[in-house]
Amino acid sequence: MEELRSESCVACRADAPRVDGTEQPLLLAKVPAWSIIKVDGIERLLRTYKLPNFVTALELTNAIGRVAEEQNHHPAITVEWGRVTVQWWTHKIRGLHRNDFVMAARSDALFGEA
């Protein structure tokens, strides 16, 4: 995960390549708590973090938000009491890009799984 976490997101164009079927398992192995789901036919990375209360859930959400803004790559985040659910995907390519795995690793580091 250290390798992914230290990378920066690259600017992504509409013709950027998606992470393919051979690369997906290799990258997913580096962020094993994440799963790949499909929403409206678009692959996304998904993880739900369990936290002790709402305040810590908001703190994690804000920390992920700060890094997302720095990297100009933004997730869907749902905050509940004791839970934060994060979904990463690249809108421009309607699927997964290496940036999504980088941000998943960074999210895990913020949660304390470095």
Report the share of the chain in percent with pLDDT over 70.
96
Determine the pLDDT at residue 114: 41
Structural domains counted in the chain:
1
Determine the pLDDT at residue 106: 96
Determine the pLDDT at residue 4: 74
Instruction: Identify the domain containing residue 95 by its residue range.
Output: 18-111
What's the CATH code of the domain at 88? 3.30.1360.20
Query: Does residue 9 sit within a domain?
Result: no
Average pLDDT in the chain: 91
Query: Does residue 62 sit within a domain?
Result: yes
The yes-or-no verdict on residue 39 having pLDDT over 50 is: yes
User: Helices (DSSP H) in the chain: which residue ranges?
Assistant: 2-5, 23-28, 54-71, 98-111
Q: Which of 19-23, 61-65, 88-92 shows the lowest per-residue confidence on average (mean pLDDT)?
A: 19-23
User: Helices (DSSP H) in 29-85: which residue ranges?
Assistant: 54-71
Report the share of the chain in percent with pLDDT over 90.
79
The yes-or-no verdict on residue 5 having pLDDT over 80 is: no
Q: The whole model's pTM is what?
A: 0.92
Query: Does residue 63 sit within a domain?
Result: yes
Query: Does residue 104 sit within a domain?
Result: yes
Edge-to-edge strands of the sheet including 42-50? 35-39, 42-50, 83-88, 76-80
Query: Does residue 70 sit within a domain?
Result: yes
Query: Does residue 6 sit within a domain?
Result: no
Cα–Cα nearest to 101, from 38, 20, 50, 34: 34
